[in-house]
Amino acid sequence: ASLGSWAVILDKIFRFTALNKSADKFENAVGGGRPLEEVASEAGANPTQPLPRMLQAALKEWRDARARGAIGETQAAFLIQRIDRVLDSIIARETAKVEDGLGSLAIVATASPFIGLFGTVWGIMHAFQNIAIQKNTSLAVVAPAIAEALFATAIGLAAAIPAYIAYNKFSTDAGKFSGRLEGFADDLSTAIQRRLAERV
């Protein structure tokens, strides 16, 4: 369980670092005053990062609406709704991706202390059995079993503590990244609305 949780922890560290670095770079490009189409084309046809995909999805809806002819007030309202739905769908998928693996950390964090406690109880039972068999309560009789019991507790805590800390940290990071995607979606929607207002 400890090795599995550490694999998730390392994966999340590298993933969140890469996601935030890419998002910083892309937001700087979008905020640089260049046309959105130019920024989207530089991201490539199939970008792997969520922010470029969100931009391309919004621009696709914009181009499709323009291809159908003049955009009136009703068509503009429907366009904004479609863009919001598309962006919400991307945000939901990306949030699920960044939260993947957090459930296993939660399980390790909550279950490991109880598994360690089970080992503690088992070791103490073994100590009492030794006392009954040897009819002796000296430290030499009970010490090995008590040491095993304490070791089991220590192993449980060694697995649980990093998993608990990592779960809380990465849950917070996932929430922040989801909020970042939602903020970017709001900015895109506002930019499209501004374009629509300029065309009216």
The pLDDT tens digits for 21-58 are 998 988 888 877 778 888 888 877 788 888 989 988 88
pLDDT of residue 13: 93
DSSP code for 135: T
Ramachandran region, residue 138 (left: φ > 0; alpha: ψ -120 to 50; beta: rest): beta
Report residue 72 as tokens. Answer: 């009136």
pLDDT reported for residue 18: 92
pLDDT of residue 61: 85
Which stretches of the chain drop beneath a pLDDT of 50?
none
Instruction: In whole angstroms, give the CA distance from residue 179 to residue 129.
Output: 57
Contacts from 186-194 at CB under 8 Å and sequence distance 24+?
187/30, 188/54, 188/55, 188/58, 188/83, 188/87, 189/58, 189/80, 189/83, 189/84, 189/87, 191/36, 192/58, 192/62, 192/79, 192/80, 192/83, 193/76, 193/80
Angle at 2 between CA 171 and CA 148, to 5 degrees: 135
Check residue 158 and give its pLDDT.
86
Per-residue pLDDT at 199 = 59
What pLDDT score was predicted for residue 166? 93
Please report the pLDDT score of residue 65 as a whole number. 78
Long-range CB contact pairs, 91-96, < 8 A, 24+: 91/50, 91/54, 91/178, 91/181, 91/182, 91/185, 94/50, 94/177, 94/178, 94/181, 95/174, 95/177, 95/178, 95/181
